[in-house]
Structures are given as C-alpha cells and as structure tokens.
C-alpha cells in the first residue's frame, strides 16, 4: 500500500475505492487514512484512520457510504474507547 498514513503505528486498512475528481476544484482525489472529528448528540468523538478520498489540490475529503455508516456506528458504540483526550476550548473573543 502506497498511502501516506496519519497514524502509521496503527493497524489500518484502505478500501481501495476509486474516487471521482474533486467536485470543488477538479483535482485528483486519492485514498488516504484521515482522522475525523465526529460530532454526535452526546459530544465529540475522534475517529482515527478512516479511509477517505482526499483532494490533492484543496484537501476536500470524500467518504464512501460504507465509511460513513461505520463512523456513525463507532460514534455511538458503548465499548471503551481506544483512548480519551482532553481538548482545550477557546472563545473567539479571548483574542
């Protein structure tokens, strides 16, 4: 697999899906593994190593229906997460 991995330490699998060119800029879209900030009604869940089509020019991301379905399931799964991190929150008006 020639894909660049954001988390090369993790065991990962690409879907080897062929993506259409970017609908915003027409750039070539290649499959990569990305981290997704997934917001649910219970709060934020970060999902690592999601196979996604990423535009080489503008970095727009495209998810297959299958990947989207798996992310939705993972976001609501009750199993203990891989790890938990704290996230700093800033208000725009602080600046």
Residues at the interface with Zn ion (CB under 5 A): 22, 24-25, 27, 55, 57-58, 60
Nearer residue to Zn ion within complex by CB, 27 or 71: 27
Task: Report the residue number, 24 or 76, with the smaller CB distance to Zn ion.
Answer: 24
The answer to whether the CB of 47 falls within 8 A of the CB of 35 is yes
Query: Least CB distance from residue 25 to Zn ion, whole Å?
Result: 3
User: Which residue in this structure is represented by tokens 């976001």?
Assistant: 75
| Least distance from Zn ion to the Cβ atom of residue 3, Å | 18
Angle, alpha carbons 41-46-50 (nearest 5°): 115
23/35 with CB nearer Zn ion: 23
Minimum distance of Zn ion from residue 20's CB (angstroms): 11
Burial call 70-81: b when 16+ CB within 10 Å, e when fewer: ebeebbeeeeee
């Amino acid at each position: 697999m020639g894909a660049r991995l954001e988390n090369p330490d993790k065991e990962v699998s690409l879907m080897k899906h062929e993506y259409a060119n970017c609908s915003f800029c027409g750039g070539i879209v290649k499959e990569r593994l990305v981290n997704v900030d997934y917001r649910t009604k219970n709060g934020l869940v970060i999902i690592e190593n999601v196979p996604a089509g990423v535009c080489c020019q503008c970095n727009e991301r495209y998810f297959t229906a299958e990947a989207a379905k798996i992310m939705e399931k993972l976001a609501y799964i009750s199993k203990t997460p891989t790890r938990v991190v704290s996230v700093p929150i800033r208000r725009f008006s602080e600046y």
